[in-house]
Amino acid sequence: MKNQKSVALGTVIGAAVGATATLLSSPKSGEEIREDLSNQFAKGKDKTGEVTNELKNKIGELSELINESTSNVSQAVKDRSEKVINEAMELINNREPQETINIDKLKEVVRELMKEEMHASEEIKEIVESEIKDIEAKVNKDITDLKKTVNE
């Protein structure tokens, strides 16, 4: 939000400085100067509106991308959690019915669960890092596009 205000303010100030420079360096009549100033301010106003609209669109797109990324990460966590739970249930259910669980067997089950949890954590980390890179690339592209719009 702060950047939006800065871009809009910069556009307006740039238009005002350009208009003032034209006024001071031009051997035109007062009416021509007023018309030029009016045109410069109108251009500045149009440019500010254009930049504002583009910023709103980019923020909307970024919001959608973040929502999608959040959904992707949530689904990955859910899938990996279900997988770990299912494997834990399988390990527990695969023992013989009359077999009692001794400490060593329990340790083995816990080790297997911990290995699976570590693997799931790594997968989730990779998904989150990928989503962050996608968002970062989108934001950088949007910044470049906005700079082009401001400089046009």
- Residue 95 DSSP label: S
Q: Which helix (H) or strand (E) holds 98?
A: none
67 or 102: which leads in pLDDT: 67
List, for residues 37-93, the tens digit of each pLDDT value.
788 888 878 888 888 888 888 888 888 888 888 888 888 888 878 877 787 777 777
Rounded CA-CA distance 97/93 in Å is 8
Determine the angle formed by the axes of helices 103-151 and 30-93, rounding to 10 degrees.
170
Average pLDDT value for residue range 33-40: 79
Mean pLDDT of 88-113: 71
pLDDT at 105 > cutoff 80: no
DSSP string, 17-59: HHHHHHHHH----HHHHHHHHHHHHHHHHHHHHHHHHHHHHHH
**pTM (2 d.p.):** 0.53
pLDDT at 97: 60
Residue type, 40: Q
Q: Is the pLDDT of residue 1 over 60?
A: no
Q: Is the pLDDT of residue 23 over 70?
A: no
Between 9 and 136, name the one with better pLDDT: 136
Q: In whole numbers, what is the pLDDT of the chain averaged over residues?
A: 78
pLDDT at residue 133, rounded to an integer: 87
